[in-house]
Structure 1
Amino acid sequence: MSSAPLVHRFGLRAAAAGALVLSLALAGCSGGAGGSTVSSAPAAKPSLAFTGPNGEKPGALSELALTSAEQAKVKAGNYTAAFVWHTTSDLVNAVEKSARAEFQKLGIKVVASTQANFNAATQANNLQTVLALHPSIIVTIAVDPTSAAKAFQPAVAAGTKLVIMTTPPAGYTAGKEFVSIVTENLTEAGRDDAEILGDALGKQGEVGYLSFNANFWFTNQRDKAFKDWLAYEYPKMSIVDSEGFADENATQTIAAAMIAKHPDMKGIYVSWATAAQGVLAAIKASGRTDIKLVTNDLDTTLGAAMVSGNNVAGMVGNGSVGVGKGLALASAYGVLGKTAPALVASDPAKVTKSNLDQGWKADYGTKPPSSVTGG
């Protein structure tokens, strides 16, 4: 939802504009500084609770629903929508496809879709271009929440309904500047990551940890959940190196150094899939067939590597079809003036080689493409 992260990739390329912040979901940097995090004391059982950027408590996607009369009213409204994304990825494409399908059912016309390559200035320019089309609705993830607070103010002033996938502009609150946040269950996703990697390594071994080096609520909580559940469920596993990245294009260099420094390391966690591509390249370049990788968001590059090789243990899907539908339904709430839940979350899913077809279908609504399966 990268992650993202999403941030998530929930996601996920450098984010600029001063104090860099992100995810796109799916978009985290919990423990992003270098060093070792090995604990000898038994870990306490982690909580599965998580909160939104303003302390919102998540509800289920099923809380978003329209009556027949409400649907008819939306259809009669001639509303339009635009997507102002943070980046492009398999996750973003899947979410948008699902949202578009629901918009079509509701009679809402999509007039634009933009992506910013994780650049806040580019997103601000994209927003100005989109606003010239006077959309009724904008679906977005803020690249940099701090600068986005000013950049998105013209949309708020124009009465455009903002619906957020993971990360709103800083200081914006549900029911005021935006309608709702629609994302994945972050703590469940982090636990799924830990279980995929733990099971792949036989419940023991040294692990590396790469997280997005920013204060980003979405990815921070998912990453922390991975650490907490790994420590709790797999006491014979230890994180021996934690590194942060500001640019997902830098992850190959970071991972290469990590692998060289820790020859006994057998697993690596990365915040989201597009950042994990560089880590996979580093693992392959090292010739290490024994290092297993886990990350968030389903990705064709990683999926193909999982099918054909040994280095990708699995990926955690965001429930993208549900997130996309939820974003569209929340948009309808906005144009109707109906109060939406401040935060709703989909259920993530563990996807490994053994359940690839089922997991891909559940997350993206389709079978994995031939580029993944080799068929």
Structure 2
Amino acid sequence: MTRTLSLALTASAFALALAAPVAAQDACLATAEDLHLSDAQLADVADRDLTFGFLTNNISDDFSRTLVAGGEAYAEEIGVELIVNNADFDANTQLSQFDALLQRQVDGIFLTAVDASSIGQAVNRANRDDIPVFIVGGAPARGEVISVMNASSYQGSFDAGSAMMEAIGEANAQVAILGIPFALQTIRDREKGILDAVGAAGGQVISMQSDFSQDRLLELATNVIQANPDLKGIFATWSLAVNAATEAVEQSGRDIVIAGYDSEVPGYVELASGDTNIVALSGQQAALQGRAAVEGLVQSIMGAELCDEIITPNLLVTADNFEESWSIQYPGAEQPW
């Protein structure tokens, strides 16, 4: 993929957008665009007095906050009440929040799961109550969801990782991976994407560590830098790991290339500074996903079938395109640099 494009969609998402035909009446809805509501559907929504639950695994990062904001803004626009709860990475808390929504008899539930395995029992209960569930990041171990919405996790990591390896430009380059300990398919896809990118470039992964805390991630990054004088790159699989890697490299004073998955405010500020070790970040379109979450639940209630997986495209954010990428990823938000 050419790195000088002003805006780069990941390869798989771009191919999906080109290949998707106009859906027939009986076809499943496959993309965020397919989920858009018609004028007639919007008029119908206004008469239904719908209430949806919106459960997030955390709200400590820009992605989660933007996801919620996108959902809230669109729900308000079309007259749907949205009940938002944050589990703060606690699976038991999320189960309690889920059950509270069932007791309230909401019309639908959208969630980013803390643990896809444990949330299955709650999804089963929603199935028994005929409450549709729409999920981001990976299907639960039990229960039926109307669809799983995912960003282009594998391709996004592969493309950002390939940019990192190209910037390093050395055979057998040593690379470390800094991640998040989520038992979700989307995280495994991110990890596979960077592993494949490093392998394709002939590099070697010498460390792969993860944590939920940015402070702990900073310690891990600092330790791996100090222990490996030949380290050439760090790939971060989520936003707080990007922040930790950036701080650790700056503190070390070494020329270590950084790339990652998630392009949030600190990453944009780094790219805008013109003085950063970050070469590429794969950005999820959280506002788009938040709107799609509300639209998907409405479509399901109105009888439409959603495809098993709905993919939303990522942006490959670089020093060459960060301004344009910001306007797409965070529409209407003030530039932070």
Please indicate the TM-score interval, normalised by the length of the shorter structure: 0.7 to 0.9
Separation in 1 of the partners of 2:270 and 2:39?
45
1:109-120 matches, cutoff 5 A: 109-110=81-82, 112-120=83-91
**Residue identity in the other structure for 1:301:** P
**Residue identity in the other structure for 2:268:** G
Q: Aligned pair 1:251/2:222, yes or no?
A: no
Q: Aligned pair 1:103/2:75, yes or no?
A: yes
Separation in 2 of the partners of 1:169 and 1:137?
16
**Residue 84 of structure 2 aligns to a residue in which SS?**
strand
Counterpart pick for 1:194 among 153, 161, 166: 161
**Residue identity in the other structure for 1:216:** L
1:193–1:316 contact (8 Å) kept in structure 2: yes
Q: Aligned pair 1:166/2:137, yes or no?
A: yes
Aligned to 1:337: 303
Q: Aligned pair 1:149/2:120, yes or no?
A: yes
TM superposition shift of 1:193: 1.3
1:241–1:258 contact (8 Å) kept in structure 2: no
**Residue 245 of structure 2 aligns to a residue in which SS?**
helix
Deviations 1:98-142 (A, max 9, x none): 2223323432122x2111221111212333444454321211011
Counterpart pick for 2:180 among 199, 207, 212: 212
Give the TM-score taking structure 2 as reference length.
Answer: 0.82
**Residue 354 of structure 1 aligns to a residue in which SS?**
coil
Q: Which runs of 5+ in 2 are unaligned?
A: 1-11, 17-27
Alignment CA distance shift 1:148-1:161 (3 Å) = same
TM superposition shift of 1:359: 0.8
Q: Aligned pair 1:294/2:259, yes or no?
A: yes
Query: Sequence identity of aligned pairs in percent?
Result: 21
Deviations 1:312-343 (A, max 9, x none): 22321112233222212211122213211111
TM superposition shift of 1:350: 0.8
2:283–2:316 contact (8 Å) kept in structure 1: yes
Q: Aligned pair 1:68/2:44, yes or no?
A: no
Q: Which runs of 5+ in 1 are unaligned?
A: 1-45, 51-56
Separation in 1 of the partners of 2:206 and 2:334?
33
Alignment CA distance shift 1:215-1:98 (3 Å) = closer
Alignment CA distance shift 1:368-1:222 (3 Å) = farther
Q: Aligned pair 1:349/2:315, yes or no?
A: yes
TM superposition shift of 1:247: 3.3
Separation in 1 of the partners of 2:142 and 2:170?
42
Count of residues paired in the alignment: 310
Separation in 2 of the partners of 1:105 and 1:58?
22
TM superposition shift of 1:209: 1.7
**Residue identity in the other structure for 1:200:** A
TM superposition shift of 1:60: 3.2
**Residue identity in the other structure for 2:198:** L
Deviations 1:215-273 (A, max 9, x none): 421111122122213332x34xx134132324344322221221112112121011111
Alignment CA distance shift 1:246-1:151 (3 Å) = farther
Give the TM-score taking structure 1 as reference length.
Answer: 0.74
Deviations 1:68-116 (A, max 9, x none): 3333222221101121100112111222222223323432122x21112
Q: CA RMSD in A?
A: 2.8
Aligned to 2:196: 228
1:206–1:267 contact (8 Å) kept in structure 2: yes
1:142–1:168 contact (8 Å) kept in structure 2: no
Separation in 1 of the partners of 2:281 and 2:169?
17
